Structures are given as structure tokens and as C-alpha cells.
Amino acid sequence: MYSNYEALARERTQEQLSRAAQYRLSRQLVTARRWRRLAAYSARRAARSQSRLTEQLSSDYQLAG
């Protein structure tokens, strides 16, 4: 049978492992949210750039034609 100290040490180890896993999960969620925001920002910038390019090409075509 385990002594009280061994039981407390095991319990403390389990708590530390649990906290470490929760910390890793929270960091992963923060990182995923950051990447989603960056991807959305990039998509908006690309769409804006594409529309400006389309407008510019359209006006250039009208001037040439």
C-alpha cells in the first residue's frame, strides 16, 4: 500500500499534468484563432486587390477600345 506521501505526490503529479494539458490546449486555441484572423484579413485584402485590378483593367480596356 502506498504511503500518504506517495499518494500526495501522485495526486500532485496528476494535477500538474492536467494543468499542462489545459495550458497546451488553450495556447493551441489562441494560435488557431490568430491564424483564422490572419487568413480572413488576407482574404479580404486579396479580394480588394482583385476588384481594384479588375476595375483598372476594365477602364484601361475602355480607353484603348
Q: What is the pLDDT of residues 10-30, one digit of tens each?
A: 999 999 999 999 999 999 999
Return the CA Rg of the chain: 28
Q: What is the pLDDT of residues 37-54, one digit of tens each?
A: 999 999 999 999 999 999
Burial of 58 (0-12, 13-18, 19+ CB in 10 A): exposed
All three cell numbers of 33: 484563432
- Rounded Cα distance between 11 and 20, Å, is 14
Q: What are the distances in angstroms from CA 59 to CA 19, 50, 51, 55, 64? A: 60, 14, 12, 6, 9
pTM score? 0.63
